[in-house]
Amino acid sequence: MELALLGTVDIRAQLDSAYWRNIQQHNDTVTKNRYVLSKIIDCIKFCGGFELALRGHDETESFQNPGIFRGLINFFAELDTTLSEHINNASIFKGTSKEIQNDPLDCILEVCHEEIIKQINRVSYLAIIADETTDISGKTQLITIFRYEFNGEPVERFWNYKIPKNVTLILSQDIF
């Protein structure tokens, strides 16, 4: 029977079928990855909405208090089998690293900056506020804020913060 069928099976139809199966597998993988990424972004938005720090002091797997973001991801994974499967089985992209947390934040900041620029281009007056402070580790940080009137309402928008180079700190002594 196999010899009778030899040469009669159209190889183009088989290759075409394999091609479409590969496309379907690829689309399924993309859909799953988008779903996982949407959950990661939801966790980042939750932390931002409540002004919570994403990371803790120690982000190692063995540390019992991993930070709010990783805690949220772990909580979501307990409720969502797709996310749990991804976190437990992913070898390349888990979505919990510092870099993965920063990438969506950078995208959100870029969108916010574009909206602020659109608003600033329509206003008559703009005030720029620059202020510096020293954090607990002794690093000087400079923040920039824009203040303007938009649609009859005063608006104050955070633009960025920078750590200036070559800052010399002058220590003052209080004399009693």
Task: State residue 89's pLDDT score.
Answer: 85
Mean pLDDT to the nearest integer, 127-137: 86
Q: Looking at the domain assignment, is residue 78 inside a domain?
A: yes
Judge whether 72 lies within some domain.
yes
Could you tell me which of 43, 53, 58 has the C-alpha nearest to residue 94? 43
pLDDT of 111 > 70? The answer is yes
| Domain-embedded: residue 65 | yes
CA-closest candidate to residue 77, choices 64, 89, 62, 63: 89
pTM of the entire predicted model: 0.60
Residue 126 resides in a domain: no
* Structural domain contains residue 36: yes
Range of the domain at 35: 11-95
Pick 52 or 156 by higher pLDDT: 156
The answer to whether residue 121 sits within a structural domain is no
Q: Is residue 135 part of a domain?
A: no
Instruction: Kindly report, residue by residue over 48-67, the tens digit of the pLDDT.
Output: 888 888 876 565 666 666 67
Domain count of the chain?
1
- Whether 131 is covered by a domain: the verdict is no
List strands edge to edge, sheet with 153-162: 126-134, 140-150, 153-162
Question: Rounded distance, CA 96 to CA 101, Å?
Answer: 7
Name the more confident of 66 and 82: 82
